[in-house]
Amino acid sequence: MTVRVLALVGSLRAGSHNRQLAEAAVKHAPGHVSVDIHEGLAEIPFYNEDIDVEGSVPAPAVALREAVSGADALLLVSPEYNGTIPAVLKNAIDWLSRPYGTGAITGKPVAVIGTAFGSYGGVWAQDEARKSAGVAGGAVLEEARLSVAESVTRFATTHPADDAEIATAVLEVLEQLATKANA
């Protein structure tokens, strides 16, 4: 059985190294895992209970919830913005946490990876993403980690998918997600 992993990328920038890291996950997924990158996080309005009303939930939020419901696991790919999680990724987690206790993220295995310009690879943001996803109800894999430092230098001429060390690390994270999803 194929484990379906949905990747949510916290950077909207066209040339994002985090988007490229998600692309590396697509390329290097083991045969029993498929990875899809969710498009459309930029179109989801900020979470507001007043618009989260059955029958009138904004279409991009419905699409996100349906995509996550159809996935076996989530891969959150987070850069670090001012020492924390990007708003677009936090907003997606907020939408997925509702309705409280039964949101699309509830019980879903979640791993967080990312890359950043700094020498720590965005670990603060990734820790915040793990915390937020866990509070929202996700089954966060604390041990499934990949923080790639100095992205601007490291990926200046090499796409993460073509970096052997990244390929191996992404494969390990996906194997951990698949194991948790099949448990």
Q: How many CB atoms lie within 10 A of CB 160?
A: 26
Q: Which CATH number fits domain 3-181: 3.60.21.10, 3.40.190.10, 3.40.50.360, 1.20.120.1200?
A: 3.40.50.360
User: Residue 42 has which token pair?
Assistant: 């930029």
Residue 129 has pLDDT above 90, yes or no: yes
User: Residue 34 has which token pair?
Assistant: 């498929």
Mean pLDDT over each residue of the chain, to the nearest integer = 96
CB 101, CB 141: distance < 8 Å: no
For 96-115, write each residue's pLDDT tens digit. 999 988 999 999 999 999 99
pTM of the model: 0.97
Domain ranges of the chain: 3-181
pLDDT of residue 124: 96
Q: Residue 7 is inside which H or E element, if any?
A: strand 3-9
- The C-alpha atoms of residue 35 and residue 45 are separated, in whole angstroms, by 25
**In the structure, what pLDDT confidence band is assigned to residue 56 with cuts at 50, 70 and 90?**
very high
For 150-177, write each residue's pLDDT tens digit. 999 999 999 999 999 999 999 999 999 9
For 9-20, write each residue's pLDDT tens digit. 999 998 999 999
